[in-house]
Amino acid sequence: MTTWHTEQILILTASSGLGTFAPALRLRAYLRAQGAKTHLYCVEQLFDEAALDKHHATRARCRADFRTALLLQKVVEQGGANINQVIDPDKLATMMHLWQQTQFTRCIVFSGFWLSVLALMQPEYVPVRSVDAIHMDTVSSSSWLHAQGVMHQLDIAVQDIYLFKANRSTVYHLYPVDKPLEWEARAARVLCHGGGWQMGNLAAVSESLKRKAIHSDIIVSADAALSSSINQRVFKTDPNYQPWNSMDALPALTLCAESNQAESHNQIEFDSLTASAAAIITKPGGASLLDSLNFATPLILLPAFGEYEMHNARTWLSLGFAVTFEQWQANDCSFELLRTLHNNLLSQSSVPAIFGVFNETRN
């Protein structure tokens, strides 16, 4: 077993919804702390200006209409989106030049879209001979389904690594984590969000929680028409945040003042809300599963975004780590039920990490 000190690690991710960006960012922080030299890239850094404009428009459409988001997802999964057509050749050439200055010892890929980029580079340059393909969902998600069309073109071995997998009882941490907060140390509050793009009818969830006087924190987009109230704190994301321009941080969360109160500038980190919450009300995205496992914070599930999130939901429910929002309501929004789910997750706090203290990758 050897340590990470001699490693030059290329980490490739994407920013769509933050579901692969946030885990990649946190893994980089861990590996750096272990002494590795890391090189993190987001596929959107290669997009031309027209593609970036379309990306912004797509995010707005998906946030406004869940059905539109599902239709666009199907287009990607069925190969209808050609990633090579949105890449700026000058940006690609610049990136290749930078990469050629480093002898990478490992490549960790969080988004299948990067396999199309590696295939495009291949005639001139192959940065590595194998990649660790990190699947954040329990089955192949959209980008990995899209990647199946270029697998046969690659001169690179792809090792699929699932942190959680459908019909598998074993789960893995991505990296070692601190011991989660015990139930008694947590706030009697639930956290609610709609993923990185804040999709779903969060306003309806907010009203439901307020009617029952449940203490809650809710994260919404900057343009959402919500404000804090007696039992509910509302946090808004930075409207100018773009992951590919902010490769060192997740979006800041600013506390909104109550109606008719002076504007607040208080900010808080997402992890501190997640770690201390009794549960997270959200859709079953892969990054939310990882947050749930890392902090032993159960999920209260909102409708899934597509087939792979449906599999995520079934897996978390079957393991006793989650309950649907409807089931929680039917149990009179019981915090004792959430405590049971927390204890189930707490029993998994010592499970191994894919990337541990030594540079051996678990599969």
Owner of token pair 């933050």: 18
Q: What's 228's DSSP letter?
A: B
Whether residue 154 contacts residue 122, with contact meaning beta carbons closer than 8 Å, is answered with yes
Q: Residue ranges of the chain with pLDDT lower than 70?
A: 1, 55-81, 196-200, 259-265, 358-363
What pLDDT was estimated at residue 350?
Answer: 83
Q: Give the residue from 88, 150, 16 showing the smallest Cα distance to 131.
A: 150
What pLDDT was estimated at residue 54?
Answer: 75
What pLDDT was estimated at residue 257?
Answer: 75
pLDDT tens digit sequence for 222-241: 777 788 888 999 998 887 88
Beta bridge partners of 218: 192, 234
* CA angle (152 as vertex; 150, 154 as ends), nearest 5: 75
Q: What's 288's DSSP letter?
A: H
What pLDDT was estimated at residue 137?
Answer: 95
Token pair for residue 266?
Answer: 């208080």
pLDDT tens digit sequence for 72-98: 544 444 444 577 788 999 999 999 999
Beta strands at 190-192 and 232-237: parallel, antiparallel or unpaired: unpaired
What pLDDT was estimated at residue 76?
Answer: 47
Task: List phi, psi (to 5°) of 178.
Answer: -70, 160
Q: How many Å separate Cα 246 from the centre of its chain?
A: 16
Cβ-count burial 117-132 (b if 16+ within 10 Å, e if not): bbbbbeeeeebbeebb
Q: 66-77 and 49-64 are packed helices; what angle lies between their axes, rounded to 10 degrees?
A: 130
Q: 307-318 and 286-295 are packed helices; what angle lies between their axes, rounded to 10 degrees?
A: 20
* Alpha helices, DSSP H, located in the chain: 21-33, 49-64, 66-77, 89-99, 113-121, 142-147, 202-211, 270-276, 286-295, 307-318, 325-330, 335-346
| Domains of the chain and CATH, by start | 8-162 (3.40.50), 183-346 (3.40.50.2000)
What pLDDT was estimated at residue 243?
Answer: 82
Measured CA to CA, the distance from residue 221 to residue 247 in angstroms comes to 20
What pLDDT was estimated at residue 79?
Answer: 46
Measured CA to CA, the distance from residue 234 to residue 347 in angstroms comes to 31
What pLDDT was estimated at residue 1?
Answer: 57
Measured CA to CA, the distance from residue 12 to residue 111 in angstroms comes to 7
Please give the torsion angle defined by the CA atoms of residues 141, 348, 35 and 103, in that order, rounded to the nearest 10 degrees. Answer: -30
Read off the pTM. 0.90
What pLDDT was estimated at residue 98?
Answer: 95
